[in-house]
Structure 1
Amino acid sequence: MEIPSKARVVIVGGGIVGASVAYHLTKLGWKDVVLLDRKQFCSGTTWHAAGLIAQLRATQNMTRLAKYSQELYGELEAETGMATGFRRVGSITVALTEERHEEILRQASMARAFGVDVEPISTTEVKARYEHLNCDDVVGGVYLPKDGQGDPSNITLAMMRGAKTRGAVVCEHIKVTGMAKTGRRLTSVSWESAEGTGEIECEHVVNCGGMWGHEVGRMAGTNVPLHACEHFYIVSDKIPGLSQLPVLRVPDECAYYKEDAGSIMLGAFEPNAKPWGMKGIPEDFEFDQLPDDFDHFEPILEWAVNRMPMLAEAGIQTFFNGPESFTPDDAYHLGLCPEMDNVWVAAGFNSVGIQSAGGAGMALAEWMETGQKPFDLGDVDISRMQPFQGNKHYLFERSKETLGLLYADHFPYRQKATARGVRRTPLHEHLKARGAVFGELAGWERANWFAGAGQEREYRYSWKRQNWFENSAREHKAVRENVGIYDMSSFGKLRVEGPDAEAFLNYVGGGNYAVPVGKIVYTQLLNARAGIEADVTVTRLSETAYLVVTPAATRYADETWLRRHVGDYRVVITDVTAGEAVMAVMGPASRALLQAVSPNDFSNAVNPFGTAQEIEIGMGLARVHRVTYVGELGWEIYASADMAGHVFETLMQAGEGMGAKLCGMHMMDSCRIEKAFRHFGHDITSEDHVLEAGLGFAVAKDKPDYIGRAAVERKREQGLQRRMVQFRLKDPEPLLYHAEPILRDGEVVGHLSSGNYGHTLGGAVGMGYVHCPGEKPAELLSSSFEIEVAGARVQAEASLKPLYDPTSERVRA
C-alpha cells in the first residue's frame, strides 16, 4: 500500500490500542488517518495477551471505559464480518482471607454504584459455578455475569478493518525513525521499510507503541514512563470433558484461570516481577518469546495444582514467557503529552490492554476531536506523570513491584515499596528523627503519621482500623483542640509574573485576582464546561507577581494547563516548588505559637484570614499565609529552603511547652473531610461543574470573560442537576474510603467521591454527589440516606453545610 506524504494523524503502533484509536477516529469522521507498525500487526504484546475482558475497575470512569470495551467487542463481528472470539462467559473472583473477602465485597458494592451487574456468592455457590475448584479454604467470592474473553489479535484486526473501511491507511513493516518539530508541535514523521524511506507531514501523532512507548515518546520529545516485564502463563494439555467456564481469579495466589478450547490457561502476577529490556528491545523482536524460567513460576504452579487438582493430571502443552509494559502507578497513559501540543499517547496498559483498549481508544478519539476530555480521565492522564519518572533506573526498580500489585491486596493507604526516596522535602530528616512514617506521592516522601515511642514505623494494612489509626486520631485532636505542625513542602508552587499576570489569571481562573498585594484567593481553573481542571490558592506577591499553590500530585498538570493558555499574555511561569519549605501551624493555639517565635502581628486587624505577610521568625525570615485545609485557625509558613531547618527547630522549641504536636497527611485528610473541604481528583474533577461542586462562592460574578464563564452562567440560569452532599455514618464502627454507594430512600443515587474517619464528629465521613434536579435543599435533606459498606447498609446523616464548624467561626477566630 502506498504511504501518503500528508496525514491528519499518524498513529505509531499496530497493536490493539493503535487499532482502537484508528477505529474511533475514523468513526468520528476523521480522514487521512495513517497507522504504522514496525513489524507485523499484533507482534509486540497483543498477540500473546490472555484476552480477559472485565468490566469493573477502581473508579467510575475507568469502569465506564472497560464496560464500553466489552460492549464494543460484542458488536464488532456484526459490523466488520470478522470473528473476534468474544464470549461473555462471566468471571468469578474468590477470596482466601477475611481481608480479601472484605475487599471483593467492597468492590461488589462499588460495582452496583457504577451500574455493573455483580453478585456476591458463598463458597457453596462458588463450587456450584466452578466445580473443578478446591474450595476448602475459600471464604467467598463475587460473580460478574457479563465479563468475557476474546481473541486479542482478531479483535485488533476487526477494528483495523473498520478503520480501513472508513478510509484509514494501515501499514505493516514500516518503522518510524524520527520526528521533526517546530516549537511545541511535531510537523512530520520519518519512516523506513525494506522498500525505502519517506516522510509524512501531519497535524497529530499518537504514540501507541506499547513497550516501545518510552522510546517513541523520547523521539517525540515527550516523557512516557513505562518498562517491560516478563509475564508468565502455561496452557495445559486438553482435558477430557472440559466445557466452557467463567474466568477465575484467585488473587491471593497471584493466579487467573481461563478455559480455552478444552485446555486451562494459568497466568500469574507474581509479587516480585522480572523487568526486561533494560538495554533496549532487540531490533528483530516480532512474535518473540522470552527464555523459560520455571523456577520463577514454580510457586504459582504449586498453588495452582492444589487449587485446581485436575491440573496435576494434565500435562503442560505450553510454557509461555512474554513481555508486557508497566507504568509506575499501574495505570495506563492516555492523553495529550504535557511537553507538546499535538503529541498524544495511549500506552503502558499493565496487562489490562485488551479490556481497556476499546474504551481508551474511544476516549482519546473524542478528546482529539473536541480538544477537551470527554469526562474525567485523571486516573490515566499522562500529565499525572512527573518528569523524573522517565528515569530508566527508577522505572527498572518500580516495575519489579507494579506487575504484582495487580493481584495484591488493594488496601487503603497502601504505599509503594520500591523506588522510594527520590524527592525529599527540606524537613525530611527532621521529621524522620521525630518518628515520621512516610508515604509517597508524585515521588515526594511525605510524613503521613508519627509513630509513638517504641512503636514500629511502618504500615500494617487492613480494611479495618490500621495500626496508625489512633496515632492519627491524636494528631487530629491536637489540631482541633491545641496546635499541630505538619510539612506541606511537597505542594506545588508556581510563580506567575509579568505585566499581564493579573489579566492572564483573570482569564484562566474563575476567581477575581485584581486584589491588593498580600491577598490570597481560593479558586479553580475551569474548562469550557465549567469543570474543574485545578483547585488552587493564588497569592498576590506584588503588582506583577502571584504564587499559585497546587496539590503535589497535580503540580505538573496545572503548570501545563497554565502554559497552554498563555497565548499573547506577557507572563512567565516558573516552578519554584523546591525553593521553599512550607510548615503548617494549625489549631486554636496557633496564633500564640507564632507570637512566641516572631515579633510580627498575627491579629485579625493585621493578618486576617486570606492574607499573607512577610515576617521575622527566630533569626530568619519567612512569609505566612493565613489559610487552612483543616478547618482551624492557622498559618502556612513559607521559608526558603536554606532557612527551613532553622524555622522548624524554632517552632518545635517554642511548641514543646505548649503541647504542640507533629502531624501527618492522614490527619490533614480526616480534618478536611469533617469541614467538607473538597479534594481535587476525588470530589472535584474536570467533569464536575464548579457550581454543582458547591464552589460558586469562589467564582467571580463581575468578570467579563474567563474560561468557562458561559457554562457558569447557563448553570445559574438552569439550576443544579446534582449537589455535593456530606455524610456521617451513625454507626461509629464502619470505615469509608471512596466509591461506596449512596442510597436515598432505599435506592442507589450515587457514590462517595471520598471518605475518611471524622474523629471529632465520632464516625466515618464521606462526600458525594446526589442527583436532585430542581429540588430545594430542604426537600433533598428530608430524605433517608444510607451508605453501603461491603454489602451492608449503614444509616447516615446528610448535610449540605459542613458538619464541622459550618459558619467557619474557628477559621476566622
Structure 2
Amino acid sequence: MANLPDRARAVIIGGGVVGCSVAYHLTRLGWTDVVLLERKQLTSGTTWHAAGLIGQLRASSNMTKLARYSAELYAGLEAETGVATGLRQTGSISVALTEDRKEELFRNAAMARAFGVPVEEISPAEVAARYEHLNIEGVRAGVWLPTDGQGDPANIALALARGARQRGAVVAEQVRVTGIPRRGRRVTGVDYDGPGGPGHIACEAVVNCAGMWGREVGRMAGVNVPLQACEHFYIVSEPIAGLEPLPVLRVPDECAYYKEDAGKMMLGAFEPVAKPWGMAGIPENFEFDQLPEDFDHFEPILEMAVNRLPMLAEAGIHTFFNGPESFTPDDAYHLGLAPEMDNVWVAAGFNSIGIQSAGGAGMALAQWMEDGSKPFDLGDVDISRMQPFQGNRRYLIERATETLGLLYADHYPFRQKATARGVRRTPFHDRLADRGAVFGEIAGWERANWFATDGQDRDYRYAWGRQNWFGNTAAEHRAVRENVGMYDMSSFGKLRVEGPDAEDLLNHVSGADMSVPAGRIVYTQFLNERGGIEADVTVTRLSETVYLVVTPAATRLADQTWLRRHAGDRRLVITDVTAAEGVLAVMGPNARRLMQAVSPADFSNEANPFGTAQDIELGFGLARAHRVSYVGELGWEIYVSADMALHAFDTLAEAGAGMGLTLCGMHMMDSCRIEKGFRHFGHDITCEDHVLEAGLGFAVKTGKPGFIGRDAVLRKRDEGLQTRMLQFRLSDPEPLLYHNEPVLRDGEIVGYLSSGAYGHHLGAAMGMGYVPCAGESPESVLASSYEIDVAGTRVAAFASLRPMYDPKSERVRM
C-alpha cells in the first residue's frame, strides 16, 4: 500500500473502473493531491466481471457524446500507460423480432444519424451476411453500428489507475473507509482502516465511486444514493473450433447479448424479472466473488439462445457466471454534486454500462469539479434528480426487480414503471381515480395522465403509433381549447422563499425582475454564468417578504438546491411546501364562467389580469387563484391548503357539471403546450441552452444589475445567435414525434427535435428543436425547407419562430 497523506484535495472512494476514471481525469486537469481508496483490490467489485461492451449510441446527445469519448479514450490508453486495454472495434448488430422492435431500432438509427454516430439499417439477409452463425428465423430487420466494440474491463480500469498514478495520484488498496466526518453542509475528511491501522485524511472533496456499496457510503456522508445490487448472469462456452472475431450481437426480444472473445462465445441476459441481491448488506469479505448459480432462472434465456445461435448447442459451457451489479430506480447512473452536501460528489449506479460510460462520466465529473459548474447538460444522470424517498431500501428492492429487465424491454414512449408505485399521491388522487384517471409516475408522484371513458380499460396499451389513449387526450385537448377543462397540478414543486432578503436572492438568480408588487406572478429562468438555463419557474410574490417559486415536479430538489447554494448569508428561509397545497388548473374559454360560479371574487381582466394572483373564497373555504397558463388558454391555477383540497375539487366539479367541465391529464397539457410553443425544461431548455437562443429573451431584464448570467446575455446580444429554437409541424397528419428525431434543412441534417407531441387542434405531430443560424436573419432561417426523419422516412415539416397556435397570446388574456 502506498503511504497515505493526511491531507488531499479529493478522496475518491472505490477502485472500480469509474473511480479510476475520476482519478485519471482529475490528475489530467492538474489535480496532483488526489487519493483513491479501495476496500479490497482494484476492480474486485463489479468491474472485473463486466462484459466489456462499448456501444456508442445512448438515449440522448450528451450521453452519446460521453460514450463516444470513452471509446476514444480507451483506444489511446495503452500507448500512454503501457497497459493493454483489449479494445477492439468489432461493430455491433441489434436485431428485431417484432415490428415494434423494428420501429424502435429504426428510430434509434435515425437518432444516431442526428448525433453523428455511423449507423446502417440492414435487412435480415444483410444481418445473416454480417453474422453467419445466426438463425435469422423471425428476424425482421437489424441495425449495424460499425464503430461499437469491446474491451478488457479490468485492464481498462488498471490503465486508468496507472495513468492517474503517473500524474501524482495515490491509489491505495486494502483500505476501507470507516467514516466521513461532517461539519454543516461539508465533509471534512475521511476516516479509514488499512494495513497500517486506522487513519484520517482531511480533504476538500469526497467522490463516492463505491459501486454497489454506493448507497451505504452515501449515508456515511449524509447523501442519498439510491441503487440496489442485482444478480447478473452470463455463460461462456468452451472454445469453438474455427470461430473468427464477430460483432457484438444483441437480440433484445430474447433478452440476450452475445460476444465473441478469444474463440469462445459469451451469452449474457437481461431477464424481465431480476433478482435483487445483498438486501441486508454486502458481505464484508466480498472480493472477486461469484454468487450461487441459478440455472432455473437462466434456462429460458439459454433455450432461446441455443435456437438463435445453434453453435451453442454443440459447444460445452465453460463458465456459468453470476455476479452482482448495481441498478438505479430509472436505469440512469448517478453523477454530480450531491444536493444534500456542498463537497460530496457521486459517480455510481451504472446499470451494466459502466465500462462504456466510465471514461466519459469521469471526464464530465472531473471538469465539473474543476469549474464548479456542469460542462454541459447532464440532467439525464444528475444525482439531484433523485428524490429523498428513493433511498428507501424496500422501494429499491422492488424497483430493481424491474429496472434490470427494462434495459432490453421495448422502450415505448410513455412507458410507465410497474413496480414500487403509489408512494406519493396528491389530495385529489382518489377523486380522479373514481372518475377514470390512468396514472403515470414522475419523481414518485402519481399523476393523472389521461382519463378512460366508461367501459374502457384503464391501462396503457403501448405502441410506437397511436396508443389506446390517443382519442381520450384529443377529447381533453378539445375541451380545453373550446370549453373548460380541469387537471391536477399538485405535484409541481412549490418552494417558499421567505425573509428580508428573499427579493435580493431571487433577483440574483433570476433573469427577470423580482421587484414587483405583492400579487404579481413572474415567469423567469435561473441562469448560469454562460446564460444557460438551470431552472424554468414561475415566481409569485405573496407579500413583502414571501415568494412562492413553482417548479417542475422532477426538478424541485435541484431548484431548491440551486437557491440554497446561492443564498450565502442572506436572511431568508427556503422551505419545500409542495405537499402543503393541492393545485387544480381550470383552463379554457369558459374558465372565467366556472370560477365565477364557485367564488364571489372578481376574475375580470381589470381586477385579475394575466400574471396576477389573488386570495379568494371558494365554496365554503379559501384558496389562492393564480392567473397563468401552460396550455395557452384563459385559466387559473387554484392553490388550496391540503385540508380544504377535496372540498375545492367537489365544489368545482359540481359547478362544472352543467357546463361540460372535462377532467384532463398530463398528456393533454403536453400536447397543448407544444402547440403554443411553450418550452419543456429538461428537453427544450437545459443548462447548456442559452436563454436567448431558446427564444426566451423576453423574460430577461438586463436593465437589472448583478444577476447571474447577465454578462453572458449581453455578450450574446452583441455577438449574435448561433442557433434558434424553432417549432415544427409535420405536413402529414399520421406520423408521431417524440424527441431526438433528426431535423433536415434543405436535405441536410442540422439538428434534432428536443421534444415532440401531437397537436390535436392543429392536426399533426409537432416538435421543438434548435437549428444553426450563425450570421443569418430569422427570415433566412425560415426560408429553407425542413423535414423530420421519422424512423428513416423523411416527412416535410412547416417551421416557425412564433407559436403556431395563438401567436399573439390573445387567448390567455381574454
Q: TM-score normalised to the size of structure 1?
A: 1.00
- Aligned partner of 1:127 in structure 2 is 128
Q: Which residue of 2 aligns with 1:247?
A: 248
Cα distance in 2 for residues equivalent to 1:37 and 1:795: 55
- Map 1:88-127; keep pairs closer than 5 Å: 88-127=89-128
Distance in 2 (CA, whole Å) between partners of 1:657 and 1:61 is 50
Asked if structure 1 preserves the Cα contact closer than 8 Å seen for 2:511 and 2:702, the reply is no
1:396 aligned residue:
397
Per-residue displacement from partner, 1:655-709 (whole Å, max 9, x unpaired)? 1110010000000000000000000000000000001000000001211110111
| CA–CA separation in structure 1 for the residues paired with 2:49 and 2:423 | 35
RMSD: 0.5
Counterpart check, 1:359 vs 2:346: no
What one-letter code is carried by the residue in structure 1 that aligns with 2:387? Q
Matched residue SS, 1:125: helix
**Corresponding residue for residue 594 of structure 1:** 595
The one-letter amino acid of 1:735's match is L
SS in 2 for 1:548: strand
Report SS of the residue matched to 1:669: helix
Distance 2:620 2:10 in 1: 59
The residue that corresponds to 1:56 in the other structure is 57
- Partner Cα distance (1:583, 1:703) in 2: 34
Residue 195 of structure 1, CA deviation: 2.4
Name the counterpart of 1:266. Answer: 267
In 2: Cα distance, 1:338 partner to 1:701 partner = 30
| Residue 791 (structure 2) aligns with | 790
Aligned to 2:752: 751
What pairs up with 1:554-703 in 2 under 5 angstroms? 554-703=555-704
Rounded to whole Å, the distance in 1 between the matches of 2:611 and 2:197 is: 65
Deviation by residue 1:297-317 (Cα, 9 ceiling, x = unmatched): 000000001100111111100
Matches within 5 A, 1:182-581: 182-581=183-582
Q: Which residue of 2 aligns with 1:709?
A: 710
Q: How does 1:20-35 map to 2 (within 5 A)?
A: 20-35=21-36
- Which amino acid is the alignment partner of residue 736 of structure 1? L
State how far apart, in whole Å, the 1-side matches of 2:778 and 2:572 are: 43
Shift of 1:292: 0.4
**Residues 484 and 588, structure 2, Cα contact 8 Å, conserved in 1:** yes
1:723-734 alignment to 2 at 5 Å?
723-734=724-735
Q: What is the Cα deviation at residue 503 of structure 1?
A: 1.0
Tell me the distance in 1 between the aligned counterparts of 2:54 and 2:405.
19
**1:504 CA displacement:** 1.1
Alpha-carbon distance in 1 for matches of 2:305, 2:561: 48
Amino acid at match of 1:757: Y
Question: Alpha-carbon deviations, 1:95-119, whole Å to 9, x = none?
Answer: 0000000000000000000010011
The match for 1:41 is 42
1:100-179 to 2 correspondences below 5 Å: 100-179=101-180
Instruction: Give the counterpart letter for 1:464 in structure 2.
Output: G
User: Which residues of structure 1 form unaligned runs of 5+?
Assistant: none
Quote the Cα distance in structure 2 between the aligned partners of 1:583 and 1:636.
6
The answer to whether structure 1 residue 761 and structure 2 residue 768 are counterparts is: no
Shift of 1:640: 0.4
Q: How far has the Cα of 1:78 moved from its partner?
A: 1.2
Question: 1:136 offset after TM fit, Å?
Answer: 1.2
CA distance in 2, matches of 1:200, 1:92: 48
User: Matches of 1:240 and 1:661 in 2, distance apart?
Assistant: 68
* Secondary structure in structure 2 of the residue aligned to 1:383: helix
What SS does the aligned partner of 1:3 have?
coil
Alignment length, in residue pairs? 813
Give the AA of the match of 1:554: T
Give the Cα–Cα distance (whole angstroms) in 2 for the partners of residues 127 and 664 of structure 1. 46
Matched residue type, 1:414:
R
CA distance in 2, matches of 1:309, 1:722: 52
Q: Distance in 1 between matches of 2:549 and 2:620?
A: 27
CA distance, structure 2, for counterparts of residue 382 and residue 460 of structure 1: 31
Query: 8 Å contact 2:702–2:714 — kept in the other structure?
Result: no
**Distance in 2 separating the partners of 1:27 and 1:454:** 63
**Distance in 2 of aligned mates of 1:514 and 1:347:** 42
Please give the alpha-carbon distance, in whole angstroms, between the structure 1 residues aligned to 2:677 and 2:534: 19
Aligned amino acid, residue 207 of structure 2: V
Alpha-carbon distance between aligned partners in 2 of 1:70 and 1:406, rounded to the nearest angstrom = 21
Q: CA deviation at 1:569?
A: 1.2
User: Is the CA contact (8 Å cut-off) linking 2:107 and 2:741 kept in structure 1?
Assistant: yes
Matched letter for residue 246 of structure 1: P
- CA distance in 2 between counterparts of 1:51 and 1:460 reads 35
Alpha-carbon deviation of 1:188?
1.1
Counterpart code for 1:519? R
Aligned equivalents of 2:725 and 2:222: distance in 1?
40
- 2:527, 2:534 within 8 Å by CA — same for their partners in 1? yes
Shift in Å, 1:511: 0.6
Deviations 1:133-192 (A, max 9, x none): 010100000000000000000000001111100000001100011111111111110110
* 1:304-340 Cα distance to aligned partner (Å, 9 max, x none): 0110011111110000000000000000000000010
Distance in 1 of aligned mates of 2:719 and 2:262: 56
Counterpart of 2:69? 68
**1:655 and 1:16 mapped to 2: Cα distance?**
59
Question: How much does 1:571 deviate?
Answer: 1.0
Look up the SS of the partner of 1:312 in the other structure: helix
Letter in 1 for 2:349: G
After the TM superposition, which of the residue ranges 421-430 and 698-707 deviates more from structure 2?
Answer: 698-707
Query: Whole-Å Cα distance in 2 between the matches of residues 59 and 586 of structure 1?
Result: 33
CA contact (8 A) 2:702 2:710 kept: no
Verify: 1:739 aligned to 2:736, yes or no.
no
Task: Give how far 1:549 is off.
Answer: 0.2
Q: Matches of 2:718 and 2:499 in 1, distance apart?
A: 36
Residue aligned with 2:376, SS: coil
Matched residues in 2 for 1:572 and 1:508: separation? 15
Q: TM-score, normalised by structure 2?
A: 1.00
In 1, Cα distance between the equivalents of 2:773 and 2:164?
41
Deviations 1:352-383 (A, max 9, x none): 00000000000000000000100000000000
Q: Partners of 2:505 and 2:132 in 1: how far apart?
A: 66
Partner of residue 779, structure 1: 780
Deviation at 1:194, TM superposition (A): 2.8
1:31 is displaced (CA, Å) by 1.2
Structure 2 unaligned blocks of 5 or more: none
- Structure 2 distance, partners of 1:339, 1:798, is 43
